[in-house]
Structure 1
């Protein structure tokens, strides 16, 4: 990547950020969304292979919700948003996760990617292994931290 290329997460220019918002347990821990960490990892891998700056992040308890009280009321707390500058990919996320609130917000990266508090790796109870039927182990707790704003190189 060129040194002059500026990462969207560090940009001070105002732009549109698209998001899909849901309860943190649903988005990060629900068995029906077990594919979601892999979607994020594969997108990050593709971006690195093609020297493209990352334009998507996992933002727990996004601060921009303070300006959207009607939206905040619709989502059980704590919540998490997948935020991106790519509207088409945001639509893809909405289709993959289904029961999420989709919207957009305009502002600087600092404003739109700010979180009020992170989601702890141990925030969700461990899965009941007697009921886990997949042929692989559940993703490790805290997998989402690698996608927090500022962790693009994680």
Structure 2
């Protein structure tokens, strides 16, 4: 089972204060150009965010949370550098399949 890496932030910050839509759109175009499969997803509150490990991290944030998850650790590391105010980590769960 491969790990999933995440960049977690408050929904307000990630979806309204940062250009996440533009970042993900550009990344999607790049993947299409390179003929690579998409390995990242933007998720709002759902089952993934209710995993105990994520709930513990989410306690540090106020309000609803959102995340970008990926199988590519380098992309998540880059997002952390680009967005600054996100919490990163990884998880290996069958719930994500």
TM bin, normalised by shorter chain, reads 0.7 to 0.9
- Give runs of aligned pairs for residues 106-145 of structure 1, distance below 5 A: 106-108=92-94, 111-112=95-96
Q: Does 1:102 align with 2:88?
A: yes
The two structures have a TM-score, normalised by structure 2, of 0.87
Structure 2: give runs of 5+ residues left out of the alignment: none
**Structure-2 residue corresponding to 1:28:** 15
Query: Which structure has the higher relative contact order (CA within 8 Å, separation 6+)?
Result: 2
Gap change, CA 1:19 and 1:62, over 3 Å in 2: farther
For 1:63 and 1:75, the matched residues in 2 are separated by 18
Secondary structure of 1:21's counterpart equals strand
Answer yes or no: is the 8 Å Cα contact 1:24–1:79 preserved in 2: yes
- Structure 1: stretches of 5+ with no match in the other structure: 1-13, 114-154
Looking at CA atoms only, which structure, 1 or 2, has the larger radius of gyration? 1
Alignment partners' CA distance in 2, 1:112 and 1:103: 15
- Aligned partner of 1:132 in structure 2 is none
Q: Which runs of 4+ in 1 moved over 6 A?
A: none
Q: Name the CA distance, whole Å, in 1 between partners of 2:7 and 2:73.
A: 11
Report the aligned-residue RMSD: 1.6
Aligned counterpart, 1:75: 61
Distance in 1 between the 2:96 and 2:66 partners?
13
Structure 2 residue 3 is matched with structure 1 residue 37: no
Which structure features the higher share of helix residues? Answer: 2
Q: Is the CA contact (8 Å cut-off) linking 1:20 and 1:93 kept in structure 2? A: yes
